Structure formats: structure tokens, C-alpha cells
Amino acid sequence: MKTIGVDIGYYATKAVCGKKVVTFPSVAGTPNVSQLVHGVGDGETIINLGIGDSYKYIVGRDAILKSRSTERREEREWITSHLWKVLFYHAISQLEPEGGEFRIVTGLPVDYFSSDHVMLKKIVEGLHKFAVNDKRLELRLSSIVTMQPFGAVCNEILSFDGNLKNKSLSQSSIGVIDIGGKTTNILTVDQMADIGAQSFSTDTGGWDIVRAVKTSIQEKFFDYELKDHEVAEIVASKTMKRFGKDVDVSDLVEPVTDSITREIVALTTQVWGNASGLDKIFISGGGANLIGETIADEFPHAVVVSDPEVANAKGYYKYGKFIEKI
């Protein structure tokens, strides 16, 4: 049975199977009329959850660019939504277009893990039937659920074949600051056991930066209509297109990122102090691309992990391979 690591975040969905990595914005939208009549456009994928057009979705960047109405969510219960299922199916079908039997390794925010893992397992496990571009697909799934930042730790200590690659790190005290779209998760592990008193989730994440920057942009350029994912790209590049020219908007982005950085650092110091008791701090998650380096500057032993957005998904995959060997 193949293992697939799946990390469905409020900003982006990431899935990993071996060296294959799929990532796309966590957005779904309705296909437009011409697509329904004439079929799928170039490179687009339509996921059909049921019978009839009301269950048809296009996903990710295609939805942002082409859908008249798009859906993205930021609430805890979204794992029960059609949107979550569409993102989940799209991720797996991109990696395994023929369907089959798979072990899914995925994660929940630290604070939701105890209460929600049973529900998530029920949603993931069992037989799933859906269609991708009118091709019927069946998935038979089992699952392993862990805490999201645990993926980032596994990514550092395990190799892709599930073997331990860094023994000393596995025996040490590690802190993770996992900056997601809606939540930032702080996880502390000692010899790979989570320390509950020093692990928590906070409702601060990349979307807070996006919302604040969006407001600033609209105040400065009142004639501008932007979708959230477009603003996220502006935040990352600190530039935006206006009348065909690149405009530097660092003055709008940096005050916001500085403020969120200070907030996250303040929260972590409440449980870690100056973090001198930790051997290493890893900063992961898509938000690490925006503010990871400025947070890392606050701790001498903190590093932004390589490819922070997919670190959890890679770690889930490696953890699944590790469990497979036991």
C-alpha cells in the first residue's frame, strides 16, 4: 500500500508521495457555463463529488483565475465541508490519477488534535468514489493523523524511505513554529514526545497579514479589487501590478508583517522564555515565507526549514514510511 502525506491548509493544499509533490491554493470554484457545455479547458481539472453540475468544481489557481464564484474557508469545521473533500480528492488524484489503495498521513492543528482526530479519521478512511474530468475514481484509504508541526520535525529527522537520518536531533528538545494560513502552531518535543504545556495553537496566521495588507491597498488605491490569493502574492513579492507597471508596496506590507512577527514572538516567549532550553527551533509553514526570517532573527538557534510550505506534508509522508517499517 502506498503512503501519501496530505496537508490541507487554509491557504494551500500540499500532498507528497515519494518525490512527487503537489501544491495548489485551497480554493475551489464553479466551472463556467462554456466549460460545462464544451468540456474542460486547457490544463483544467473538474472534480465531481456527485451527480449533476451542482457538485462540480474547478480547483486551485484555475478557480482563482476563471471561476465566477470561488470558495475558501477559515473555520475549524471545514474538514466536514465539500470544499475540504474537493481539495483532498484533487490532491490525491494529481498524484495517483488511477486511484487505488493508500495510507493517508495528515495532521491537525495542535489545539484541535485531541478533540478532532477521530472525526478526521472517519472522514478520510474507507471507500471514496468521485470523478475527475468525468473519469470515475475509487480510493480505499486508511489513515494516520498527527499534529501538524510534527510533520516538520519528521521531515528533519527522517529520510524519504522512512529511516532515521539524524539520531542526535531525534533525541533532543525541538521547538517548531508552524505558521499557517489561519493558525500558528507552536510545538515542543523532547525525544520526539510532545510537551503539552509548551504546545498550542493561536489564531494568527498568514491570512491576518493578507487581510491587513488588502485593507491598506484599498485605502491607498481605492479603485482596486483583489482576491485574497492575489493579495497573498503581493505580500510575498512586496510589489503589485498597476496599469501594467510593478509598484513597490513595501511601505504597506512591512508594517503588517512586523506587527504579526512581534505577536508570534511574544506568544512563543510566553512558553519558551528565551528558548535557551531548546536545542533547535524550526520555523515552517507557508507563513514562514513571509515572516520566517524575521522570527528566526529573534532566536540564535532558529532556522526556517527548507521549502517551509511543504515541510509538514513531506514529514507526514516520511512518518508514514517510518511506521510502515515497524
Partner 1 sequence: MRKGITSMGNSSKKSSQKPDALAVAQVFIDELRTAREQLDRIESKLDKLLDSEPEVEKVSVDEEVLSNMLKAGV
Contacting positions for partner 1 (CB under 8 A):
19, 105, 117, 121, 144-147, 150, 159-160, 163-167, 170-171, 189, 191-194, 319, 322-323, 326
Q: What's the min distance (Å) between Cβ of 147 and partner 1?
A: 7
SS3 99: coil
Q: What's the min distance (Å) between Cβ of 163 and partner 1?
A: 5
The residue among 49 and 169 lying less far from partner 1, judged by its C-beta, is: 169
Q: Which of 315, 16, 11 is nearest to 165 (CA)?
A: 315
The residue among 1 and 33 lying less far from partner 1, judged by its C-beta, is: 1
Q: What's the min distance (Å) between Cβ of 97 and partner 1?
A: 22
Q: What's the min distance (Å) between Cβ of 282 and partner 1?
A: 16
Where are any strands of DSSP class E within 191-288? 193-194, 200-202, 239-242, 245-248, 280-284
The residue among 81 and 170 lying less far from partner 1, judged by its C-beta, is: 170
Q: What's the min distance (Å) between Cβ of 57 and partner 1?
A: 30
Query: What is the C-alpha to C-alpha distance for residues 90 and 94, in angstroms, rounded to an integer?
Result: 6
Query: What is the C-alpha to C-alpha distance for residues 321 and 324, in angstroms, rounded to an integer?
Result: 5
Mutual angle of helices 148-157 and 311-325, in 10-degree steps? 70
Q: What's the min distance (Å) between Cβ of 76 and partner 1?
A: 18
Q: Which of 271, 274, 234, 273 is nearest to 256 (CA)?
A: 234
The residue among 7 and 44 lying less far from partner 1, judged by its C-beta, is: 7
The residue among 51 and 193 lying less far from partner 1, judged by its C-beta, is: 193
Q: What's the min distance (Å) between Cβ of 19 and partner 1?
A: 7
Backbone dihedral region for residue 273 (phi beyond 0: left; psi -120 to 50: alpha; all else: beta): left
The residue among 207 and 319 lying less far from partner 1, judged by its C-beta, is: 319
Name the amino acid, one letter, at 307: D
Query: What is the C-alpha to C-alpha distance for residues 262 and 207, in angstroms, rounded to an integer?
Result: 16
Q: Which of 33, 96, 24 is nearest to 59 (CA)?
A: 24
Three-state SS letters, 110-151: HHHHHHHHHHHHHHHCEEEEEEECCEEEEEEEEEEEEEHHHH
The residue among 115 and 215 lying less far from partner 1, judged by its C-beta, is: 115
